[in-house]
Amino acid sequence: MRFTVWGSRGSHPTVLTPAAIQSKIATVVQRIRPIDLVSQDARERFLASLPEWLFGSTSGNTACVQLELNDSNQLVFDAGSGIIGLGQSQKMRDPAPMEYHLFFTHFHYDHIQGLPFFVPAYNPQVEMHFYSPLEDLHETLSRQMIHPYFPVTMDGTMGSKKFFHKLTQEGVELYGARVIWRELNHPGRAFGYRVDYGGRSFGYITDVELLESDFEQNRANARVFSDLDVLILDAQYTLDEAIEKINWGHSSFSLAVDFAKAWNTRRLFLFHHEPQYNDRKLEQNLQAARRYAVGIKGGALDVYLAREGTTIDV
Ligand SMILES: [Zn+2]
Ligand SMILES: [Zn+2]
């Protein structure tokens, strides 16, 4: 299995403003020494030496993660604005996929707003399968594509064959992978997912304001949360901000580390980045999360930022 982050920003898409781009360029220029310019190799070495927060950006698009089980089969989690890029990337695949399986954590805008622009969904030969533990999935999704909010409808112009699946407690088996879910503490309800395939496990758990009950070592929790090779987890805030924003439905990066350690996660990817945090701030949060992960008891845990455009083996 491998996953690609197409969007990891929370709440709303975040553009790099002209001022932010200018500031990055100015900072890079200040770091250049004459020796960095003497050859093509030297220039490439210099660029490779720049930190990720400076040479690039963490993510502008909202939630969408593609999970490729192997070279031919894939699952998709959430349809934030990141899914637009995923859709465009699909024409590069040979053969072009004719089947998509799209799981929704919930239906806040940042998790559905890219769907009307997902190009494969307009191909009449494509099958689109949508999944949620909630009723009314068809109605919920099609209501964002009606006049006066959008010029074409889901049941009309969006011409793919569509299938709406209400997930039962057992979850679903697809291409030999098992997908199960657990309800999360989030305003209006949200659901986290776990995928087991080929002896590896992947968790996609957002949006969630973690509670003490999420740490309880009971079977229902363990079934979804325990021993994940990769966990993509809501870590929108710093601890200070999380205390100010109780009941907003998101977690701090330190609580995310506590949770990952409590459930014996191998690799944690901080997700649902706060739109007010710039790349430098997100990097500072990452470094603080890493220090915290070393400082508390439990097994070894590697912590990363979920960065848009990266593909990682599970
Ligand atoms: Zn969200
Ligand atoms: Zn939400």
Query: Can you list the domains of the chain with their CATH numbers?
Result: 2-14+57-313 (3.60.15.10), 18-49 (no CATH)
For residues 308 and 61, is the Cβ–Cβ distance under 8 A?
Answer: yes
Note the pLDDT tens digit of each residue in 32-59. 999 999 999 999 999 999 999 999 999 9
DSSP state of 247: T
Mean pLDDT for the stretch of residues 201-216: 97
**CB-CB contact of 236 with 14 (8 Å):** no
Ligand whose nearest atom lies closest to the CA of 62: 1
pLDDT at 297 over 90: no
Residue 1's closest CA among 267, 302, 301, 307?
Answer: 267
Q: How far is the CA of 56 from the centre of ligand 2 (A)?
A: 26
Give the DSSP H or E segment for 174: strand 172-174
For position 268, what pLDDT does the model report? Answer: 98
d(CA 15, CA 149): 22
Residues near 145 by beta carbon (within 8 Å), at least 6 away in sequence: 115, 116, 152, 153, 154, 158
Report if pTM > 0.75.
Answer: yes
How many residues are present in the chain? 314
Give the chain's mean pLDDT. 96
State how far the alpha carbon of 212 is from the alpha carbons of 216, 221, 290, in Å: 7, 12, 22
Beta-bridge partners for 132: 166
Report the C-alpha gap between 69 and 174 in whole angstroms. Answer: 10
Ligand 1 midpoint to CA 45 (Å): 37
Of the chain, the end-to-end C-alpha distance in Å amounts to 5
* Residue 299 pLDDT grade (very low, low, confident, very high; cuts 50, 70, 90): confident
Determine the Cα angle at 126 with ends 123 and 129, to 5°. Answer: 125
CA of 61 to the centre of ligand 1 (A): 11
Ligand found nearest the CA of 209: 2
Query: Percent of the chain scored above 90 by pLDDT?
Result: 93
